[in-house]
């Protein structure tokens, strides 16, 4: 082991030992060539690796260190150099006097939602730059977030964790690292991705406001934590306030339902400043297919709800990725706000849209403990009936969701060609269930949505009381589908025109 005063790689003079972790030893050092203070990390080869495995780890560390050196961002610890000393890789990095977020939480306790959002905004900004550069961090966690005295946050160890095997399964089949911050797909053996980074960031911010990560951090039983992570069932945060909808999205089991780093950054930036998330990134999304919809004010609402059909699709601007959306803005307590949105089709609206009144006989609501299995079964069967059996689906709805009227419900689901559950219903609370669904629209578009349902007992039956749309992504139909649609339209128009001409000839004769 190196000591204070040693000269590494003929250039870096060790001044003091900063810390030791599973990945290696970190030193404060002097770069004698450029006359600056740097941090030097000596990567350690995991014990038990044979010569081939050790060489593979060394080469991977060198390669990924070079990749990380491409990133230059004020909220990321810069990698200045990749070198070797005594056959072991050295990473030479920016020296940033700071405490880790893990240290801050251990000594000072959980952060307020605004303070956590300030840290999260900076880390998300660093991840956004990394992802644009093709770099996946693979090890976002509080111990890798450095907090300076002025509140500046920097993400450390870019590209290094995977190189050292920190979150991968080794050839011996041993899982190393910190399972509490892994994405479920990584815990199940899949390769880390940018979406995995977003999950880990969500778990990090969750830990910052709740005091512990979503699945706990039992260092004495890491395999137990890993098992819970792989199951992907997250308990909603109780102290996150305005961060709640965003965190639920970042911690979605399905990677496709998570926001990008840019979207998470903008949402947290707004929350950190005490504002509702920017509408450009967090628009309440109408939960119906078809033309643009109009929000109805609370004064005229008679309750808060979301329609049970897929959201209307606004076409994204050209060359701009349509943002993920979060359907709830915070209102003090850590509760998701269900947003009342009803379809307005303009001149094409059905004559009786929204006119149907609920029954005058009030159903009886019962308070009893709901089991996860029965709640999940109701949500699963609701989507299993659609779009072909709306009668059976309608039977699963409570009074608030039925208040929209059966005509509107049928009309909206008539626009859906196929329903596929992409993230199975899972209980997330005493009366809530999360589910991810993909809708193939008859117009050719595909809509993917992530919902939270609140269930209730009504006349001894479990029904869906409210629906909160957490995230939505819409993909336009392929050009080939559009061409076919255009051909069909032209063909239909041509046949109509021809029939009109034939009718006119008949009249003349």
Binding-site positions for ATP read 41
Distance of alpha carbon 421 from the chain centroid: 17
Let me know the angle formed at the C-alpha of 48 by 46 and 54, rounded to the nearest 5 degrees: 55
Beta-carbon contacts of 129 under 8 Å, excluding residues fewer than 6 positions away, are 71, 73, 76
For the chain, how long is the longest CA-to-CA vector? 110
Which of 31, 50, 85, 139 is an active site residue? 139
Examine the residue annotation and report whether 497 is marked as an active-site residue of this protein. Answer: no
**What is each CA distance from 4 to 13, 15, 26, 89, 335, in whole angstroms?**
8, 5, 12, 18, 52
DSSP state of 169: B
**What is each CA distance from 19 to 16, 28, 78, 396, in whole angstroms?**
9, 10, 18, 57
Backbone φ/ψ region at 409: left (φ over 0), alpha (ψ -120 to 50), beta: alpha
- How far is Cα 500 from Cα 204, in angstroms, rounded to an integer? 67
Q: Answer positive or negative: Cα dihedral of 78, 83, 85, 86.
A: positive
DSSP state of 76: B
- How far is Cα 163 from Cα 184, in angstroms, rounded to an integer? 20
Residue at token pair 């137990």? 224
Beta-carbon contacts of 119 under 8 Å, excluding residues fewer than 6 positions away, are 101, 111, 145, 147, 153, 205, 208
**What is each CA distance from 172 to 58, 165, 175, in whole angstroms?**
17, 11, 9
Two tokens at 288? 């119906």
What are the residue numbers of the active site?
Answer: 139
């Amino acid at each position: 082991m190196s000591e204070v005063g040693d000269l590494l790689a003929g250039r870096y003079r060790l001044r003091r030992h900063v810390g030791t972790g599973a990945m290696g030893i970190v030193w404060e050092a002097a770069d004698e060539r450029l006359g600056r203070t740097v941090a030097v990390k000596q990567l350690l080869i995991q014990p038990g690796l044979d010569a081939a495995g050790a060489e593979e780890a060394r080469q991977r560390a060198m390669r990924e260190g070079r990749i990380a050196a491409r990133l230059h961002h004020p909220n990321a610890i810069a990698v200045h150099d990749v070198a070797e000393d005594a056959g072991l890789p050295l990473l030479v990095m920016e020296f940033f006097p700071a405490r880790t977020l893990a240290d801050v939480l251990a000594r000072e306790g959980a952060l307020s939602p605004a303070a956590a959002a300030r840290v999260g905004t900076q880390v998300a900004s660093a991840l956004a730059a990394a992802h644009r550069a093709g770099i996946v961090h693979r090890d976002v966690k509080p111990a890798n977030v450095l907090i300076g005295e002025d509140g500046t946050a920097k993400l450390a160890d870019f590209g290094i964790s995977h190189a050292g095997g920190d979150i991968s399964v080794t050839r011996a089949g041993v899982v190393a690292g910190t399972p509490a911050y892994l994405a479920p797909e990584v815990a199940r053996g899949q390769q880390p991705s940018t979406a995995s980074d977003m999950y880990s960031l969500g778990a990090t911010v969750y830990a910052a406001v709740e005091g512990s990560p979503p699945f706990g951090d039992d260092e004495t039983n890491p395999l137990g934590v890993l098992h819970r992570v792989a199951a992907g069932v997250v308990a909603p945060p109780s102290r996150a306030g305005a961060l709640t909808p965003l965190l639920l999205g970042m911690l979605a089991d399905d990677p496709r339902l998570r926001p990008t780093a840019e979207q998470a950054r903008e949402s947290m930036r707004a929350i950190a400043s005490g504002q509702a998330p920017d509408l450009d990134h967090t628009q309440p999304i109408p939960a119906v297919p078809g033309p643009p919809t109009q929000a109805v004010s609370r004064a005229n609402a008679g309750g808060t709800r979301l329609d049970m059909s897929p959201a209307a699709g606004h076409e994204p601007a050209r060359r701009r990725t349509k943002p993920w959306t979060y359907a709830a803005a915070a209102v003090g307590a850590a509760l998701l706000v269900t947003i009342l949105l009803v379809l307005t089709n303009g001149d094409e609206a059905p004559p009786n849209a929204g006119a149907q009144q609920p029954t005058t006989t009030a159903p009886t609501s019962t308070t009893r403990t709901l089991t996860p299995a029965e709640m999940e079964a109701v949500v699963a069967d609701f989507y299993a009936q659609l779009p072909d059996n709306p009668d059976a689906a309608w039977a699963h709805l409570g009074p608030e969701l039925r208040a929209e009227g059966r005509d509107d419900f049928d009309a909206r689901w008539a626009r859906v060609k196929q329903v596929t559950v992409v993230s199975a219903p899972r209980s997330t609370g005493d009366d809530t269930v999360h589910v991810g669904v993909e809708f193939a629209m008859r117009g050719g578009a595909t809509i993917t949505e992530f919902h939270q349902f609140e269930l209730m007992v009504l006349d001894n039956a479990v029904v869906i009381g409210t629906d909160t749309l957490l995230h939505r992504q819409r993909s336009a139909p392929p050009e080939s589908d559009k061409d076919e649609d255009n051909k069909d339209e032209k063909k239909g128009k041509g046949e109509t025109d021809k029939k009109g001409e034939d009718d006119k000839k008949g009249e003349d004769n």
